């Protein structure tokens, strides 16, 4: 699963929309720590010491939405 700039998320990662330049994407092979999906692209360089906390786009979105509900 790759992160893409299809309008999801905040303005800072929408590929140059507004006053922000396109976000650099990092390619690799990681797994989501929650659901196990493969992650092939991220909008940040992951810290090797924190790979156990890495979330795919869907799990990250669900986590953000659960914080908004509380």
Within-domain flag for 42: yes
Give the global pTM.
0.64
pLDDT score, position 54: 96
pLDDT score, position 41: 96
Higher pLDDT, 19 or 1: 19
Within-domain flag for 5: no
Within-domain flag for 6: no
Number of domains in the chain: 1
Q: 24-61: per-residue pLDDT in tens?
A: 999 999 999 999 999 999 999 999 999 999 999 999 99
Domain membership of residue 55 as a residue range: 11-69
Within-domain flag for 60: yes
Radius of gyration of the chain (CA): 13
pLDDT score, position 11: 46
Within-domain flag for 3: no
Within-domain flag for 1: no
Burial 46-56 (b: 16+ CB within 10 A, else e): eeeeeeeebbb
């Amino acid at each position: 699963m790759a992160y893409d700039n299809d309008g999801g998320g905040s303005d800072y990662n929408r590929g140059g929309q507004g006053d922000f330049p396109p976000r650099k994407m990092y390619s690799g092979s990681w797994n989501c720590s929650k659901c196990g999906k493969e992650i092939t692209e991220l909008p940040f360089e992951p810290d090797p010491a924190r790979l156990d906390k890495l979330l795919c786009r869907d799990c990250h979105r669900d986590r953000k939405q659960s914080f908004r509900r509380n």
